[in-house]
A and B are shown apart, each in its own frame.
Chain A
């Protein structure tokens, strides 16, 4: 649990029905996560290339070709993780009303997912190591549905995630599915 002092003072009421953005700190968090993943991939690729060069005795031309290909892919990955989190942030919105929670995502393939409050089975708030550093949390909403049995909303401040959770599961109708 986060101490109330960690809550941003300008936090809006969670159920006022207005569209909300994620916490902007998610951009830095995702960027770092992406770079770490790219770095691990680069290390693995470098190690494999090294082993190949050492044991396989490849022709220098083949080595250069494969090496530059891998390098280009890694550069592309780095560029993607530099740009994408901000784009994704600009296109992600959520809204909590008395009736439902609505999550909008996607720059190219856009989705709007609405979960009626009466249909929420339970919710989780999780925090990975990077998210903890930024004070962020991920809200996971579980329904009894088939295709959408777990819907995640990441990039919330941890306090906001907890507040939405409390708002969503408190006093709702239940018809036993």
Chain B
């Protein structure tokens, strides 16, 4: 048996901290609401009952946790009463991630996540591994795959850094890629935690809050009604607030993308980023299932793109966990980066337009939608309002339909399939045809009348699917057959 290794003793601390974080939601209401002596005592008792076993549990986990490198598998052993031994063949490992928050850095350790194709959770999580041991771990795991790198190939990657992001780039990427949901979700969470009444009380009793309430009351009293300027001010306030939220969220994401470096080590790609919490990802090139190129409206105005890779084991639960191959690159650098993925190297494919019926169909849909939206307004508020809504809504929806039709495209190349859709948030999905697991063709009655179909080429990994819409039916059938013939070969 190979020699066994233990985690860094700090792992007990991290596990304990993790458990505390899980219990924090219990403690918070107690701290806020606990005004009486009895409540405080109860809070302490609850914390004692929960915390003490957590401390003991964390120590036991640390004391029993062992890992070792066998010839062709990684073995993790843990548990005192219920013992568990997990064998992970090196050949099945898809990614190795290392996460270092400031406390990790203090102890010179990192949390290691080992992911295989098994889906939602990491196959093994090592709470704290000394930084000095990580390089050795990567080498053992990836050499254990039995695919040694040829000497000349290794030489080729002598200068392995492929992409570096500056501070300004990280901020631009943070601005382009966030949608501010994180902050909104946190705000909603806070309201729920404190309760809306408390929020109103806190805001209303503060000095500025009282002044604002008085000002609003005075305005309404003075004009006798809510005047147009008030409405305009409210709208302006909401817009400003949304911009502020987006900027704050951009800063949060920029701190995660800070110092992003993409490098190549043999058959793997490695990315590193983060100002406070440093995340190092190792993605096995041959395990990349599809590549998604994000080119939003703003991206295109700036001549930039963001490139995401989807792997099988990677569990993307939130936008901040997306595995970026490149959070921000110039549009002319896209091809070179996509070509890093084996099989996409010869992706000299030409984009093809969708079926010509698309523009008419999308415009008809837009006009019907606008008419349906304007009808109730016209009936309730009078015909002039209805016509105004019809013109505005119809104009906007028609423009959106026309832009959608202009931006949609499909492509097939040397063993490669690709689809592009969207204009506000345009996404291009590229996959190696042999990676496809299921081919599906859909037709609605409208599709059949126009002679089109929707073709989905399903590959593993969560994210935007590879879906070709408004595809001429004969091409859909041919691609469907081609994909099935190539799949798994």
Contacts and interface: CB of A to CB of B under 8 A. Distances in A.
Interface in A115-137: 115-116, 118-119
B487 A118 contact: yes
Contacts of B436: 119
Contact of A114 (B117, B438, B444): B438
Contacts of B92: 176
Contacts of A72: none
B465 interface: yes
A156 B480 CA distance: 25
B442 A144 contact: no
Interface stretch (A46-54, A59-67, A73-81, A105-113): A105-113
B442 A148 contact: no
Interface in B432-489: 436-445, 448, 456, 458-463, 465, 480, 484-485, 487-489
Q: How large is the interface on A (under 10, 10 to 19, 20 to 34, 35 or more residues)?
A: 20 to 34
Contacts of B463: 146
A129 B480 CA distance: 37
B312 interface: yes
B484 A111 contact: no
A99 interface: yes
A141 to B, nearest CB: 9
Contacts of A148: 437-438, 440, 456, 458
B488 A116 contact: yes
A118 B463 CA distance: 23
Contacts of A109: 442-445
B441 A111 contact: yes
A144 B311 CA distance: 12
A113 B312 contact: no
A151 B439 CA distance: 12
Contact of B439 (A113, A173, A175, A177): A113
Contacts of B438: 113-116, 119, 143, 145, 147-148, 151
Contact of B460 (A108, A116, A177): A177
Contacts of A144: 117, 312, 437, 460
Given A109-B443, A112-B480, A113-B439, A146 B460 contact: yes
A153 interface: no
Contacts of B443: 109-111
A65 B402 CA distance: 45
A147 B459 CA distance: 8
Contacts of B461: 146
Nearest to A113: B440
A112 B480 CA distance: 9
Nearest to A141: B438
A100 interface: yes
A147 B465 CA distance: 7
Contact of A143 (B442, B458, B465): B458
Top 7 A-B residue pairs of the complex, sorted by shortest distance between their CB atoms? A118-B488, A145-B437, A116-B487, A145-B458, A148-B438, A119-B437, A143-B437
10 contacts: A109-B445, A111-B440, A112-B440, A113-B438, A114-B484, A115-B438, A119-B437, A145-B458, A146-B458, A173-B488
